[in-house]
């Protein structure tokens, strides 16, 4: 992480500063929903801050990867990553619910820095036993997530051009080797 930025967990006593990533939904989540989601135990939001700004934020919650979310070929590829005795009907994951970088700091690769931070966070301090990171990525963000090692969970999403989100996953285990 860059030395002039630090990551903190959003709390009730943190005084939010103005934030604009260029997307009203993401801006509103931080201001209106992040703390209520935390209070209802739905997600935890982390802020990347400088002395003057909220540089970026991301929100995490528990998730799982299971057969209904994937196609059979992808599910077989996931199961091959585990010894037969460890095969399950689902595998624990952490979901990136929101990730936004302030317009002032966009195009500085901070999104990739945040993904690296999340990956390391769950590999070095894996409190809940999750082996994957998932994200429902907007189509416009697909190149970013794919460049950062995420994979499609459903093959049909590769070809589909609709304006919906695409479920992607990242396997944390190789980072432990």
Q: For 120-132, what is each residue's pLDDT tens digit?
A: 999 987 777 889 9
CATH fold of the domain at 6-176: Aminopeptidase (3.40.630)
Task: Please give the model's pTM, rounded to 2 decimal places.
Answer: 0.89
The yes-or-no verdict on residue 39 having pLDDT over 70 is yes
Taking residues 137-163, report their average pLDDT. Answer: 84
Q: Which of 11-15, 71-75, 102-106 shows the lowest per-residue confidence on average (mean pLDDT)?
A: 71-75
At 2 the pLDDT is 66
Say if residue 110's pLDDT is above 80. Answer: yes
Residue 114 pLDDT > 90, yes or no? yes
User: Tokens for 153?
Assistant: 């969970």
CB 97 within 8 Å of CB 60:
yes
The pair of structure tokens assigned to 120 is 């390391």
pLDDT at 1 over 60: no
Helix (H), strand (E) at residue 166: strand 166-171
Instruction: Give the model's pLDDT for residue 80.
Output: 81
Question: Which residues are 15's β-sheet partners?
Answer: none
Per-residue pLDDT, 28: 96
Whole-number pLDDT of residue 72: 78
- State yes or no: pLDDT of 54 exceeds 80: yes
Question: Which one, of 114, 100, 108, 117, lies nearest residue 19 by Cα?
Answer: 100
CA distance 35 to 77: 37
- Where residue 43 falls among pLDDT bands split at 50, 70, 90? very high
Closest residue by Cα to residue 57 from 125, 127, 129, 118: 118
pLDDT band at 139 (very low <50, low <70, confident <90, very high): confident
Strands (DSSP E) contained in 2-144 are 6-9, 44-49, 54-66, 90-101, 132-137
């Amino acid at each position: 992480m860059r030395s002039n930025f630090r990551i903190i967990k959003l709390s009730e006593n943190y005084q939010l500063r103005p934030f604009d990533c260029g997307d009203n939904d993401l801006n509103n989540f931080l201001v209106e929903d992040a703390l209520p989601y935390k209070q209802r135990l739905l997600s935890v939001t982390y802020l990347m801050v400088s002395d003057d700004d909220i540089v970026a934020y991301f929100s995490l919650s528990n998730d799982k990867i299971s057969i209904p979310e994937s196609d059979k070929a992808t599910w077989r590829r996931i199961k091959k990553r585990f010894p037969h005795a460890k095969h399950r009907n689902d595998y624990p994951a952490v979901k990136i619910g929101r990730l936004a970088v302030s317009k002032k700091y966009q195009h500085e690769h901070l999104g990739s820095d945040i993904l690296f931070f999340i990956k390391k966070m769950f590999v070095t301090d894996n409190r809940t036993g999750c082996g994957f990171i998932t994200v429902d990525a907007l189509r416009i963000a697909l190149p970013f997530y794919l460049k950062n090692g995420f994979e499609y969970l459903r093959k049909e999403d590769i070809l589909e051009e609709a304006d919906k989100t695409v479920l992607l996953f990242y396997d944390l285990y190789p980072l432990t080797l």
